Structure 1
Amino acid sequence: MQIKNEGTLTFPGKLKGDPSKRLRDKYCRFHRDHGHDTADCYDLKQQIEALIRQGKLQRFVSKEKANPPQEQTLRRENERPRPPIADIRMIIGGTATSGSSKKARKTYLRMVQNVQLTGTIPKMARINNPVIGFSEEDARKLHHSHDEALVVSLRVGDYNMHQVLVDNGSSTDILYYPAFQHMRVNREQLVSVDAPLVDLGGMRVFPIGAVTLTVTVGDYPQQITKEITFLVVDCTSTYNVILRRPTLNSWKAVISTYHLMIKFSTDYGVGELRGY
């Protein structure tokens, strides 16, 4: 017994009853007598539980016992992210080639795909995740056949950001300036960027600057929160944000355009993000 020298236990006398009728191969160091093992001693367990309630054996109590399931649940509730300030939906009407038709959306997608920054971007740390797959059950809410871009909603800073394009071909995270303005981020947070963006048509677009914002993907508690550096671009778009390939890789995200869905691993299971 590690606590026997703590001076907190009250040792009882020997066991009552006929000693000849007790088991001689079992010895209780608490009663200092034969009859049962120390680990099975009811009187010892009662005293230890009383001392724990009195706070006298804290250094012997494991973290799990010190934080019972109810307290762990409450602590997790306290870690729940605070509600967003507002939703940012479609702010601007888009280009002349964009619209509600499938042909127009595909035309606009070709325009924004493969946007490249003529410079280097720091690599982000990656984490190990389990294998993630998709099934026909994941496509239950879709009306096949579809041929749409993967557009999602996620949390950027304190706002629910809608009209976020997931673009595997882009190497740059883009935040369009009208959305940036609605977020009321201090313009002093923008860092100047010298390198221009180049689209498939060869047109150069110079960003206003770069800003690092916290992005949360998924629903609590199956979610990931990371800081992402966006290039803020002041030009017309049907989207508020474009997510780049390296960012998706940093989430270890598995994307299915057939299911219009993203899956990723979290500390509390597999998270999901559905497109619309």
Structure 2
Amino acid sequence: MQIKDEGALTFPGKLKGDPNKRPRAKYCRFQRDHEHDTTNCYDLKQQIEALIKQGKLQRFVSKERTDPPQEQAPRRENEHPRPPIGDIRMIVGGITAVRSSKKARKTYLRMVHSVQLTGSVPKMPRIDNPIIEFSEDDARRLHHLYDDALVVSLQIGDYNMHRVLVDNGSSVDILYYPAFQQMRIDRERLTPTNVPLVGFGGMKVFPLGAMTLSVTAGDYPQQITKEVTFLVVDCSSAYNAIIGRPTLNSWKAVTSTYHLMIKFPTEYGVGELRGNQIAAKECYIAMLKMEDQQQARCIREQ
């Protein structure tokens, strides 16, 4: 808090709520109250970020700033993307430890070593306005007959996110709170929103907030990376996330429920994202079990 003497910070007023219910072990020197530590203060971080962008506090940046920069340096042309740091496969309660993938690290090291030996990455031809089409060959891998939902895996942030439902009928992109917790993102980073969602069992659900994350779809180099704003929702679901029309439109994506596939244009041709029939069936069974449990609770409460 050496920067407090600079005169650039705007100190907030007292926190709302009962001060007796706040944890006494944590104290924020910026808020001057007990609720969280100074290093985890969202308001302080926001002001510091704004001051740095204005060219102020430069003498503090190199020695005091510990947060990673919000904007990553642009990836060089044809450079292979950084691998994810973990996988989120199933929805579980609470914060769970995410295992690091040794296989992913070894694969990445082999790739880096190969690039160092050759000195360059092979050039990929750019393709403008590729034609998107589906054929029977795209459906041959599927188990027929079926009526499965389109459930895919995406890289969201630094994680491989499995059990992601692609829903053309959804006007928003949803990230369920248990998956959000597994990503180890501070809840204070959520942007508040008071707009309710309708469609969860006919009830209104108020999101916990909004969060913008980088989403990558497809296999390199026919892949696409976009910033997606998710609404974080705390309610029961067999899915980790829902990709709706906003993202599908930004990808210029074409979906086919018959082929259980998404296709989208990239700089190097048409990218593909295949649905997982096993995951779709597992989610369907899990949702039926949740419905049975909900009905059982309603009967007991009557």
TM-score of Structure 1 vs Structure 2, range by shorter chain: 0.5 to 0.7
- Contact 1:217-1:224 within 8 A present in 2 as well: yes
Which letter maps to 2:187? R
Matches within 5 A, 1:69-218: 76=77, 79-92=79-92, 129-199=129-199, 201-218=201-218
CA distances 1:50-103 after superposition (whole Å, capped 9, x unpaired): xxxxxxxxxxxxxxxxxxxxxxxxx655x211111100001249xxxxxxxxxx
Tell which structure's C-alpha radius of gyration is larger.
Answer: 1
Q: Which runs of 5+ in 2 are unaligned?
A: 1-75, 94-127, 277-302
- Contact 1:177-1:234 within 8 A present in 2 as well: yes
What's 2:271 paired with?
A: 271
CA, structure 1 residues 200+160, in 2 after alignment: closer, same or farther (shift >3 Å)? closer
Q: Report the CA distance between 1:201 and its aligned residue.
A: 4.2
What's 1:239 paired with?
A: 239
Which letter maps to 1:227? E
CA distances 1:142-163 after superposition (whole Å, capped 9, x unpaired): 1111100000001000000000
What secondary structure, in the 3-state scheme, does the structure 1 residue paired with 2:134 have? coil
Separation in 2, partners of 1:274, 1:247? 16
Separation in 1, partners of 2:225, 2:200? 31
- Contact 2:173-2:230 within 8 A present in 1 as well: yes
CA distances 1:116-150 after superposition (whole Å, capped 9, x unpaired): xxxxxxxxxxxx84331100111111111110000
Separation in 1, partners of 2:129, 2:148? 28
How many residues end up aligned between the 2 structures? 167
Which letter maps to 1:156? I
What secondary structure, in the 3-state scheme, does the structure 1 residue paired with 2:252 have? coil
Separation in 1, partners of 2:176, 2:165? 12
What secondary structure, in the 3-state scheme, does the structure 1 residue paired with 2:210 have? strand
Separation in 1, partners of 2:83, 2:249? 27
CA, structure 1 residues 200+236, in 2 after alignment: closer, same or farther (shift >3 Å)? closer
Identity score, percent: 74
Which segment is superposed worse, 171-180 or 181-190?
181-190
Separation in 2, partners of 1:213, 1:201? 27
CA distances 1:196-232 after superposition (whole Å, capped 9, x unpaired): 1111643011110000000001011110100000000
Which letter maps to 2:167? D
- Contact 2:159-2:183 within 8 A present in 1 as well: yes
**How big is the alpha-carbon RMSD for the aligned residues of Structure 1 and Structure 2?**
1.6
Q: Report the CA distance between 1:192 and its aligned residue.
A: 0.2
Q: Normalization by structure 1: what TM-score? A: 0.58
Which letter maps to 1:85? I
